Structure 1
């Protein structure tokens, strides 16, 4: 097949939503622009894993950090006592230390943890 024939076949194929795999129009009826990759239902869904992905929900990392801090003894190595973002990160691979630190700071703001040192920031659970 030639290049124009391939393009014609691709444009006539039905467009499927990437989330629910429902068939949807390729172009908007009102403005003739290409439609989004997801249908309106999937775009505005509040179900876990928006748009068909397995992304964690907001607050999941905070709960995981609290679980790590509560289930393990308070680290004490050298002159540094307490949970740092790097020490928590060893128990939660795949998460950025900055995201873990933000989660610990949220726990401290709610009273579930308290800061016990600076340089590096160290925390311990309160409950």
Structure 2
């Protein structure tokens, strides 16, 4: 991140439905529905939220429905989450009860061009109750 000063925080309430891509340098909390790709520093998704599109964030805490790929350095998937799509991560925590339909692949910074299947590094995985 370019700035280490107090970061801003944006909230999309449960009454909002957005069609289009979202790009934010701020932390983002989404309770509504988004149809489009999301790129932000930190994402917190509420249980009632639906995202249809790709998610790219440094950190993400997902509790709702995501239909699309997810790329995050630190990813937490809560038990209420329903994810359909591939997941790329550096550190991963999944609560018991979360539903994920897709492949998991550890991001390897030294082999960015390689396909996830070619990466030899063991993924870091933890399961929370």
TM-score, normalised by the number of residues in structure 2: 0.22
Larger Rg: 1 or 2? 1
Judging by fraction of residues, say which structure has more strand.
2
TM-score, normalised by the number of residues in structure 1: 0.22
Judging by fraction of residues, say which structure has more helix.
1
